[in-house]
Structure 1
Amino acid sequence: MNLPLDVEQSAAILVERVSEKVSEYLLNYTLSIPKLILQAIVFITVFYGMLVHSETLSKELYALLPEERRDLGMELVEKAKETLNAILRTWLMLSIFKGFLLTLGFYFLGVANLSGAIAAGILCVVLELLPVIGGWIVWIAGAIYLFTQGDIFAAVMLSVYGVALISPGPDITIRPKLVAKGAKINPALALVGIFGGIMGFGIKGLIIGPVALGLLSTLLEEWKEQKGRAKS
């Protein structure tokens, strides 16, 4: 492109710095993959153990509630249960929906035939059920394949489609709203809980964040009621 000298130099510097940042990010992420895999294995193992022994854990939890404020303890336990149910239902529903959308994208954009697109959709569902690791891996692989085949337009279209409808678009827009609706908390609070939990606690923060903020909102409501009764 015949650009003015100053513009061309600025563009070259910008491209160089962006390339460095992208390379640094990819390198850091690649080096952290073993850690993420280990966290995912531990998370799934512990979560499975909690589900298997849920009845025993539930009895132990209720037995630990203090008698003097047992009503508040019961309310907090029910709030945590409500939030967990909302997270798991949303997680499963979105994973299946993303897999279906990825199958359509792969088939109509020519990444694979129908059977291959269905296989990619199933892989997307499996990856979406794992924390942090998600369907973005599949659509990025498809976009790279189209790019190497010389179909740049289809690669760009798949990238836009993947970001908006598979990952991370729905995780930022749809997931917090569904969790908030199921857990009966503010959508902004659910969004902060999901991403703040991941940033603060890693993979386990996906569960800890929304539950902690849900419990906090319950405690704040109780505190407001106590203050109102004290004033009256």
Structure 2
Amino acid sequence: MTIQPEARARLLGGFLLLALGAWILHTFLGFLFWGLVLALTTWPVYRRLKNWLDARNRHAWVAVVLTLMIGAIILVPLIYGLTKIIDEAQSLAKILVGAQNAGLPAPDWLQATPLVGAWLAELWNSSLGSPDAVNETLHLLQTETALAHTKDLASQILRRAFGLFVTLLSLFFLYRDGEILGHQVLGGFRKLFGDIGVRYAEHAVAAVRATVSGLVLLGLGEGLLLGVGYAVTGLSHPAMLAAVTGVFAMIPFAAKLVLAVCSLVLVASGQVAAGAGLFIFGIIVILVAENYVRPILIGGSIKLPFLWTLLGIFGGLENFGLIGLFLGPTVMAVVLSIWRDSLEEVGG
């Protein structure tokens, strides 16, 4: 069948417009994708709230309230963490001012560290033990470079804050117009690929929800349980450590790094039993979560083997950054679904 010149021109014009739109929005595509992930994950909650308020015809208000709630869930821990970092930075500045006048001898717990305590104490004293050593160390750190990094950090914080605003704004509109957009997208897939395209789209949505449950919710659960361990063993700022552990736990095997550091801090401070107990407790929690619960949450609902889930997560992180945590397993789930359909067609 020969394509008419008018149809060819329409196809070319449509492709060029799509490319232009993608180029205009490429800076915000990551933030828009985060909004899509949040919308797909929390859509059942939105539907329940909307159905409850259906008689009052306040769908937009439900979208506003739920968007603000999700924004608060994201912002409150971030603001708490930033305030703690600022407080610690102010304390560090006071310590440095005192060290410039009188030096900062190595603490006793550092010298008591098994095997390497004497070497660490000598290294500490040579760098911070006297006023001259402190001033020389600060000079080596290059204050101008540190100031430049501080300015760069401030610009990154502003950019991320604007990105969060774009994410929440897109989330609101996805809530408000999600049903219409969903019908349009499924209609487009049905027109292009038939009913099997709709099934693949639904499989992708299920993969996103399963990945969020297996990574985010399970990671937060790990952080909560380990936070209890941090509090019991007497570590300072257990809530912040729990939040950091929860974030790291979203990446397979990464939570063990935070656990190991916290356990070493306890051991170095002389609390060997507490450090060993925390490490054993944390390893049990992490092993159960990552080897038993996570494969069930992610692979069970979408029939994706754990190996492919793991490869999808790591491959997504490598190629797409944090977005790849969700994009990788989703793509792997759709690819595996296509592969299974192909095998059924060959066998049938």
State the TM-score, normalized to the length of structure 1: 0.61
Are the counterparts in 1 of residues 214 and 294 from structure 2 also a CA contact under 8 Å? yes
How far is 1:88 from its partner? 1.7
- Residue by residue over 1:130-185, the C-alpha shift from the partner in whole angstroms, topping out at 9 and shown as x without a partner, is 779x756764563354234222342243234434424x874465423320012222
Distance in 2, Cα, partners of 1:227 & 1:50: 42
Distance in 1, Cα, partners of 2:288 & 2:224: 15
| Correspondent of 1:158 among 247, 265, 278 | 278
Which structure has the larger Rg over C-alpha atoms? 2
Are the counterparts in 1 of residues 203 and 334 from structure 2 also a CA contact under 8 Å? yes
Correspondence for 2:266:
146
Distance in 2, Cα, partners of 1:58 & 1:218: 21
- Residue by residue over 1:40-88, the C-alpha shift from the partner in whole angstroms, topping out at 9 and shown as x without a partner, is 9498667655543431543442243253632111011010011111112
Alpha carbons of structure 1 residues 92 and 200: separation in structure 2 relative to 1, 3 Å? closer
Distance in 1, Cα, partners of 2:333 & 2:163: 21
Are the counterparts in 1 of residues 220 and 247 from structure 2 also a CA contact under 8 Å? no
Matched, 1:74 2:198: yes
Are the counterparts in 2 of residues 199 and 205 from structure 1 also a CA contact under 8 Å? yes
| Partner SS for 1:191 | helix
Correspondence for 1:123:
243
For 1:85, the aligned partner's letter is R
Are the counterparts in 2 of residues 100 and 121 from structure 1 also a CA contact under 8 Å? no
Are the counterparts in 1 of residues 263 and 276 from structure 2 also a CA contact under 8 Å? yes
| Partner SS for 1:65 | helix
Question: Which 5+ residue runs of structure 1 have no aligned equivalent?
Answer: 1-30
Deviates more, 1:76-85 or 1:99-108: 99-108
How far is 1:218 from its partner? 1.3
Question: Which 5+ residue runs of structure 2 have no aligned equivalent?
Answer: 1-148
- % identity of equivalent residues: 21
Count of residues in correspondence between the two structures:
188
Correspondence for 1:58:
182
Are the counterparts in 2 of residues 177 and 190 from structure 1 also a CA contact under 8 Å? no
Matches for 1:204-223 after TM superposition, within 5 Å: 204-223=323-342
C-alpha RMSD of matched pairs (Å) = 3.9
Distance in 1, Cα, partners of 2:334 & 2:322: 20
Distance in 2, Cα, partners of 1:172 & 1:199: 22
State the TM-score, normalized to the length of structure 2: 0.44
For 1:75, the aligned partner's letter is R
Relative contact order higher in (CA < 8 Å, ≥ 6 apart)? 1
Distance in 1, Cα, partners of 2:214 & 2:301: 9
